[in-house]
Structure 1
């Protein structure tokens, strides 16, 4: 009999403690949405003890935009604020951010004509920023057998962001050894592209 009495007393005490900790229905959720450090009675803050709180929540289930939230978390790079708490999450628009957009690139790509050589066609494309060459690319070079070797030498010497074309900023390039025809074709196409810039 004593054990049964202790069990009933323990059950009653546990239930009472649970009810006290849980609080009134909806009060914990209202408390989570209250802004931190704002006194009761301030516009934009609702007093959880005031009558009508539950009815306001039922009539307006979403929080007004722009209302501060103590439990809000910011995701890097996102333009929305997510509110934690309750059984789900809500998203509300964040305050608009002002940013200065990066200036648009002034780079232009200019393609020279196809130059026919005794070993094959050569065509060059340059990228310019203003009037300065920032890159050169061989779109077409002779292929097959020894032509591959010659074309690779010419391309390695002249093309790229750090090639001779970018360093010298003109078509007055030294001839690549054992690739005279391909070098001449590259210079002719390059000069025609430069003539379109200047």
Structure 2
């Protein structure tokens, strides 16, 4: 079964291009498009949309407000697809329930892969966007999955945006050992990659 998506962008060229390209990059069916947040909300309320690609800056209702209404009132999963990576936009979209925040400079294949990941319950986010997520004043407390102390240290290091080499230098263990720990952590959580791990940690979902 194809993933049913809605494309919401006030740029007609973007909408029409994505409608043509995305179905060529995966098992994706574009069932509609919208030029503003209000149209996007109404379409999701009236149709069964699996994933909505939503721009941020749009007339009538912006993308952040659209995400909030769609997540609150439907089962549609929202991905913000935009040229804007301002910190406030990112954090508001994630708070309101966006499952992804990616930039338009990604390749069509990367965008299609993000749609598939979000459809399969994995959060997606560009690395440069991840670094702009604000952590709550109190550090998130890891409560689930029976992580070891070392696994917790590695999760926190990943959430700080550190590479395996930087984590190795910080914790005085080899990069190979770190890769093994990350594989174990991902298996425990069911997440697919380190970005999803970091986002879920920062949102307090672990």
Instruction: Please tell me the TM-score bracket, short chain as reference.
Output: under 0.3
Higher strand share: 1
TM-score, normalization by structure 2: 0.20
Which structure carries more relative contact order (alpha carbon 8 Å, separation 6+)? 2
TM-score, normalization by structure 1: 0.21
Higher helix share: 2
Give the structure with higher Rg (CA).
Answer: 1
